[in-house]
Amino acid sequence: MIKLNINNSGIRDHELSMVQPMVETAYRTLMERTGAGSEMLGWLNLPFEYDKEEFARIKAAAKRIQEQSEVLVSIGIGGSYLGARAGIEFTKGPFANQLTGDGVEVYFAGSNISSDYVQNIFDIIGDRDFSVNVISKSGTTTEPAVAFRLFKEKLEAKYGREGAKSRIYATTDAKKGALRGLAVEEGYETFVVPDATGGRFSCLTAVGLLPMAAAGMDIDQVMQGCADACTKYNNPDLMTNDAMLYAAMRFLMLMKGKSVEILANYEPSLTMFGEWYKQLMAESEGKDGKGLFPVSANFSTDLHSIGQFIQDGSRTMFETVLWVEQSRHDLTVPNDPANVDGLNFAAGRTMQYMNEKAMKGTLLAHVDGGVPNLILTVDRLCDYTFGELVYFFWKSLAISGYMIGVNPFDQPGVEAYKKNMFALLGKPGYEDAKEALEARLSVLD
Ligand code: PA5
């Protein structure tokens, strides 16, 4: 159950009435599939239209991974990584790998180009059995391709070529790309990133579902949460549809000169959800010189660092608090007769109670400091609410993206760094660019 409270936003009713027609236009554009990027709406009815046969194979593969291995290495970057990691930490907490319970440990590789990071995962695996899920829609992304070579070599050294093949699962385009070619040639079990689904909208396809299921998440519940959100957020009415209201609020904040949205949480389990949100918002709206810059903050930790800026720095931001009503556990502050730390005023209180007071106190301080606030409340962190929240953000973002007049479903800006990197690495076809870039870089020497 998701609730949006806008009472500390500073936005007034008549402002919402003014944007209602814009929301309706954006909503129609989305649902009638007539807007920019409409060929990428595979996520829109996903919870009702997904491939059930593949879904059953995902569950079977997860079970096999759990039987054969203690560790799954999930290799991917951006949309091919963030959702799965966000889901696992959302439901199992930041120590999911140390508290695995019913699933395997899942480590994420291929989202950087660091030798130290890969070696750390080698060391963590040690002599234990492991499997690999390599995920790339294009099948050509450099970071996961490098990591896959390294982990494939490890698998082959440990299990032999044939043994390695039965431990590799490839999630990629149905027909094209280097990874599809390799998977067919080697006979890996494969899963599909659907054509009409961009990376940041793919975490509830095989891309995210296989690592999540291997980690022990109940993916039926995830899809149920997603399906219920799809049914619920199915009208353009700002009075009854919080996904639309959130879109309208973000649009109005931009109109009022805000350029930064902070998604703040008070649960370490939501740190990676904040990373997922940043990619979703930034790649969808940050184009053509427009968009809100998405930032995530982990409170109360970050109140002791960027908290100063939020309270008192340049007034460019608003804050959306992602608040969790019920914690999974309820620890209570112990009484201490000596009371040397003076903390007995809180003795007997649950940490959740204290966390809530921290949230409310911070919210009012930030509002007083000129930072408008929205509160997005979920009842608890579980498989179901993860699916629900993912769909809420997808639908809302599609509307706000159309409202600001961008194509929310492409990401042309991601290519620029890749071209330069390929040229500097000497990839065939980039020779001219290499010379020009090296001339510019000579000032760094
Ligand atoms: O959202 C996106 O499309 C990107 O972040 C991609 O997911 C990311 O670049 C990875 O691409 P691929 O899955 O093709 O390796």
Tens of pLDDT along 62-93?
A: 999 999 999 999 999 999 999 999 999 999 99
Residue whose entry in the numeric block shows the structure tokens 């020497």 = 445
> pLDDT band at residue 439, thresholds of 50, 70 and 90?
confident
Residue 332 is given by DSSP the state B
Res 387 pLDDT > 90: yes
Under the banding of pLDDT at 50, 70 and 90, the label for residue 205 is: very high
- 138 pLDDT band, cuts 50/70/90, is confident
**What local confidence, expressed as pLDDT, does residue 413 receive?**
85
Establish whether 356 is a catalytic residue.
Answer: no
CA distances from 335 to 143, 332, 338, 358, 382 (A): 51, 9, 9, 20, 31
Q: Is the pLDDT of residue 166 over 90?
A: yes
For 14-65, the pLDDT digits (tens) are 999 999 999 999 999 999 999 999 999 999 999 999 999 999 999 999 999 9
Helix, strand, coil abundance in the chain, percent, nearest 5? 55, 15, 35
**198 and 397 Cβ atoms separated by less than 8 Å:** no
Closest ligand 1 atom, residue 172 Cα: 13
Sign of CA dihedral 164, 166, 172, 175: positive
Average of per-residue pLDDT across 133-141: 92
CA dist 2 and 268 (Å) reads 19
CA-closest residue to ligand 1 atom 12: 136
Pocket residues: Cβ below 6 A from ligand 1? 77-80, 136-138, 141, 144, 198-200, 283, 411, 414
The pLDDT score that the predictor gives to residue 419 is 84
pLDDT of residue 444: 81
Q: What percentage of residues in the chain have a pLDDT greater than 70? A: 100
Position with higher pLDDT, 419 vs 368: 368
Looking at residues 364-368, what average pLDDT do you find? 97
Please report the DSSP string for 348-364 in residue order.
T-BHHHHHHHHHHHHHH
How many C-beta atoms lie closer than 10 Å to residue 33's C-beta? 11
304 in catalytic set: yes
Residue 285: phi, psi to the nearest 5?
-110, -20
What pTM was estimated for this model as a whole? 0.96
The answer, yes or no, to whether the previous bond of 300 is cis (omega within 30 of 0) is: yes
3-state secondary structure 203-233: CCCHHHHHHHHHCCCCHHHHHHHHHHHHHHC
Please indicate whether residue 283 is annotated as part of the active site: yes
Does the pLDDT of residue 445 top 80, yes or no?
no
Ligand 1 atom at shortest distance from the alpha carbon of 198:
3
- Please state, rounded to an integer, the average pLDDT across all residues of the chain: 96
Of 14, 52, 304, 329, which one is the catalytic site residue?
A: 304
Residue with the two structure tokens 């809420």? 392
Question: How many beta carbons lie within 10 A of that of residue 197, not counting itself?
Answer: 23
Q: What pLDDT was estimated at residue 379?
A: 97
Active-site choice (105, 261, 283, 319): 283
- pLDDT value for 136: 96
pLDDT tens for each residue of 220-257: 999 999 999 999 999 999 999 999 999 999 999 999 99
**pLDDT-above-90 percentage for the chain:** 90
The C-alpha atoms of residue 326 and residue 160 are separated, in whole angstroms, by 48
Residue 164, both tokens = 């390695």
Q: Which of 85, 147, 106, 136 is nearest to 279 (CA)?
A: 85
How far is the centre of ligand 1, averaged over its atoms, from the C-alpha of 323 (Å)? 29
Is residue 100 helix, strand or coil? coil
Q: Cα of 82 to ligand 1 centre, how many Å?
A: 10
Report whether 168 contacts 134 (CB < 8 A): yes
What pLDDT band is residue 130 in, cutting at 50, 70 and 90? very high
Confidence of residue 270 (pLDDT cuts 50, 70, 90): very high
